Structure 1
C-alpha cells in the first residue's frame, strides 16, 4: 500500500539513516568544516519543497541572498544569525525561527546543530 500519510520520527532522529549533504558552498564558507548530514522526510517532485532533519558541526558562512522560505526548529546545539544590518539572533534547543528569501548575513553554527526544517525554494530571492 502506498500511503500518502507517513509518521515522522520524534526520537532517535539522527543515526545511520542520515546521509552526507552539501548545502554550504565553498564560496560561502568562512570558518570551520560543517560535516553536514541530512535525512529528508518529504521532497516534492520538482525538488523545491523539502521537509527533513539537518545536522552540522561548528562553522560559519556568509549568505549573499537566501534562496527560499525556511522554517527551522532547533533540536540540539546553537545557531547564530547576524543580519547584514548587524541584528544578531541566537537559537538553541526548542527554539524555532523562519528565514525569508533574500536574507543576507552570517549563518554560524556555534555548537553541533541538529534541526528539523521545512524549506521551499523560491523565485522571490
Structure 2
C-alpha cells in the first residue's frame, strides 16, 4: 500500500498531454472518490453547457478567458456545477484543475479567487501539535459548496512548526508568499516556495514548518 503524501502539481502539469480541453487533460492517479486532479494544455476555446461538478482551475502559463474574465498566470477561478460558460485560451495555456463531485453548487456563476480579499482571523493549528508559538492565521473563503465540503479562498499565517497530523481532507495549495516544508510519514521531505502549486492527499500524515510569513490560495475537499 502506497503512503499518501504531497504532490508537486507544477511538476505533474509539465507532463500534461497536448490538446486537452477545459474538462479533459491528463489525470493524476488518485483513489476513486469525489476528488480528481487534472492538468491540461489548452488552445482555442469552446462552450460548456453545464459544468458536471465544481471545478477549481489555476492558470500556470498563458491566459484563460471565462465568460469575458481574463485569468493570467497564477489566477484561479471556481466553475460551479451546473453552470454554462464560454472559454477561450491563448495558445499552449497550461492549467491545473481540482474537481469535486457529489454536492449542489454554492454559486450560479464562475467565482474568481481574489488574492487581495480582506482576511479575517481564523483558527490556529491544534495546540498539542505545535512546537513553539501559536501562529496568527487569517482566512477569506471565496467559494463554499452548498454542502460546505468544498471550499476555495485565501489564507495567511505567521511562522509556525506543527508536528505530523493525518489529513482527513484533500487540499490543493498555491503559495503566494513565503515557504513551507513538509515531511511525510515515510520521511520524504519537500520545501515549497512562492509560486509553487501542490496537493496534500487525503490520508497523508505530514508535518508543517514555515519560518516566514506564508500566504496561499487553497481548494479543500473536507468530508462532513
Q: TM-score range by the shorter chain?
A: 0.7 to 0.9
Hey, what does 1:65 align to over in structure 2? 166
- List gaps (5 residues or longer) in structure 2: 1-106
1:23 offset after TM fit, Å? 4.8
Give the 5 Å matches for 1:46-85.
Answer: 46-85=147-186
Which secondary structure does the structure 1 equivalent of 2:213 belong to?
strand
Number of positions where the alignment pairs a residue of Structure 1 with one of Structure 2 = 118
Cα deviation, 1:60-91, whole Å, max 9, x if unaligned, reads: 11233101111111000010101122211001
Which secondary structure does the structure 2 equivalent of 1:111 belong to?
coil
- List gaps (5 residues or longer) in structure 1: none
Runs of 4 or more off by more than 4 Å in structure 1?
Answer: none
Give the 5 Å matches for 1:1-125.
Answer: 4-10=109-115, 13=116, 17-122=118-223
1:3 offset after TM fit, Å? 5.1
TM-score normalised by the chain length of structure 2:
0.49
Q: Which has the higher contact order (CA 8 A, sep 6+)?
A: 1
Larger radius of gyration: 2
State the Cα RMSD in Å.
1.9
User: Does the CA-based 8 Å contact 1:83-1:103 persist in structure 2?
Assistant: yes
User: Does the CA-based 8 Å contact 2:158-2:214 persist in structure 1?
Assistant: yes
